[in-house]
Amino acid sequence: MDYLKIFSPATVANVSCGFDSLGFAVDEIGDTMTFIKTPQKGVEITNITGANLSYDVDKNAASAVVKKMLLDANADFGIQLTIHKGYSPGSGLGSSAASAAGAAFGTNQLLNHKYANLALTKFAMFGEEIACGSQIADNVAAAIYGGFVLIRSYEPLEIIKLPVPQELRLVAIRPQIEVRTEDARNVLPKEILLKDAITQWANVGGLISGLYSNDYNLISNSLVDIIVEPHRKKLIPFFDEVKNAAIQAGALGAGISGSGPTIFALCKGDKIARNVYNSIEKSYRNKGIDFELFTSKINQEGIKIL
């Protein structure tokens, strides 16, 4: 294989209660990337569209991953890369992760599937570090594995793929402001109360149990974040209004997607998702901030070859 075109999906990390440890992949939006095998070694980005990102191989999350993998595999070829960003960085939908994970997946194809998904996730986490300073796995793992994932452990890395209830739908609103992941991490407290930790880990357990048992009530009761959301919502204008609008229209729950500013809502079925979409739309209209709104199924397959 000398040429490859892929789609790498956007992702929703944290899913309210699971900071840095839960994520899922989105069906509707993502990055399109191409990979061309070249006889000369090394990596080159030949085109980036859809966002203003660095062409410097060591500073771009995608090319940095390609370079690391080719070196690790001692490859006797190089790769030319193009990246079309389907949505902008700083949105909280795993933009750098889609590029980093797509880079790992695409390079692995040209390396004849040398690496398994866990290794690809580790390479992609390196790209996340380039982009936001931390080796976070929730977005990249969701893009690579598809569906819902749990980062059961970081050291050593262990990823559990979770089931996706059939009727689960996503509604997300992306206010056109940028929140840098690094900044959103800096507003978080270094220590939390034991009683808050108890509430939070009980909700993670409840959410995962709900996914396994298709129990939408349990999913709804568990989509609660008392640790991160109270600090980060201050960075997102009208967060409470949107969340209330979603819940009132029948959403199972709503919260901050990754590090924001995107706000996500999970719903049971298309009809409720439509109501939630309309209700959120109404709540953000006339607020003076441009926004994009979309609904999506949960992406079950992750990155795919086009």
Q: What residues line the site for ligand HSE (CB under 6 A)?
A: 13-14, 19-20, 94, 136, 138-139, 181, 184-185, 258-259
- What is the DSSP secondary structure assignment for residue 157, as one 8-state letter? E
Looking from the CA of 304 toward its CB, the CA atoms found within 13 Å total 14
| Min dist. Cβ of residue 183 to ligand HSE (A) | 10
| Min dist. Cβ of residue 51 to ligand HSE (A) | 16
Q: Which of 205, 198, 233 is nearest to 221 (CA)?
A: 205
| Min dist. Cβ of residue 56 to ligand HSE (A) | 22
Tokens of 199: 């509430």
Our CB check for ligand HSE shows the closer of 38 and 186 to be 186
| Min dist. Cβ of residue 106 to ligand HSE (A) | 21
Q: Which of 117, 180, 174, 119 is nearest to 149 (CA)?
A: 117
Between the alpha carbon of residue 303 and those of residues 38, 157, 299, the distances in Å are 23, 20, 9
Q: Cα–Cα distance between 190 and 180 in angstroms, integer? A: 19
Catalytic residue among 128, 178, 199, 241: 128
**Residue 128 is a catalytic residue:** yes
Our CB check for ligand HSE shows the closer of 4 and 227 to be 227
Our CB check for ligand HSE shows the closer of 94 and 210 to be 94
Buried b (16+ CB within 10 A) or exposed e, 167-186: ebbbbbbbbeeebebeebbe
Q: Is the dihedral of CA 90, 91, 93, 95 positive or negative?
A: negative
| Min dist. Cβ of residue 3 to ligand HSE (A) | 31
| Min dist. Cβ of residue 221 to ligand HSE (A) | 22
Contact between residue 169 and residue 252 where contact means Cβ atoms under 8 Å apart: no
Q: Cα–Cα distance between 131 and 120 in angstroms, integer? A: 17
Q: Contacts by 213-221 with C-beta closer than 8 Å and gap 24+?
A: 214/165, 214/166, 216/165, 216/167, 216/252, 216/268, 219/165, 219/168, 219/252, 219/253, 219/266, 220/252, 220/253
Our CB check for ligand HSE shows the closer of 79 and 207 to be 207
| Min dist. Cβ of residue 19 to ligand HSE (A) | 6
- SS3 label, residue 203: helix
Our CB check for ligand HSE shows the closer of 91 and 107 to be 91
In the complex, residue closest to ligand HSE by CB: 258
**Residue 167 is a catalytic residue:** no
Sequence-separated (6 or more) residues with CB below 8 Å from residue 160: 149, 150, 152
* Catalytic sites, residue numbers: 128, 181
